Amino acid sequence: MTQSNRTVFITGASSGIGAATALAFAADGARLLLAARRIDKLTAIAEQASKLGAAAVHSIQLDVRNAEAVAAEIAALPAEWQAIDVLVNNAGLSRGLNKLYEGQLSDWEEMIDTNIKGLLYVTRAVVPGMVSRNSGHVINIGSTAGHLAYANGAVYCGTKAAVHFINDGLRDDLLGTAVRVTSVDPGMVETDFSLVRFHGDSERAEKVYKGLTPLTPEDVAETIVWAASRPAHVNIARVMMTSVHQANSLLFHRE
């Protein structure tokens, strides 16, 4: 299935996996609806997407944690952007790496509000239109952390476990429609993920990737576009992907 002229809505599209996914869909001729909090970075990605071949690009500044803003922004989309064919729920983050009993409540709130509630708010606003058109595809970005918890990451792992089951529950709820639901669950990907986790401590963030080759955002983006490009009767339920230096969320090989 070609993505030419299909409308693809990507949250967290200003950097990392979201930005790479926008550019990958652009190269396939998609119409891109891009959302992120950082409008300046989002504008730069939109310009790149247009140069790569996107049929059209529409950007909105959006914090998925704000339920009212999500509902209002999606309801207010211009008519030509209302029919969303593919939703990529990518907005997410990790904050802190602490023992659960020593964690910061503000870190927990940000992860829960973004990774779980934000995904739910966007899904709730977009999927009814897909059901009414009997067409669409929801792609949720999970993690290997949603399959196997690791020390000092209990809350982040918990949010990604929630994505795992929300994804599967949504697929159950959509049975009988032509709307597809997929979870793409990557392991370590070299993005700003660790920089955000460590609140801007670049030295600590760089050590995360030392001695191994992680996935790139482009690796994950390619998989997302592949899942969206299957024939309409094919639903890729879940893809769990890592580099060859990672077995799961606990086991790594470092040179």
Domains of the chain: 7-241 (3.40.50.720)
Which residues are the active-site residues? 156
pTM of the full structure: 0.96
pLDDT of residue 1: 75
Give 22-54 pLDDT, tens digit per residue.
Answer: 999 999 999 999 999 999 999 999 999 999 999
Compute the mean pLDDT over every residue in the chain, rounded to the nearest whole number. Answer: 97
CA–CA separation, 124 and 221 (whole Å): 24
What's the rounded mean pLDDT across residues 164-186? Answer: 98
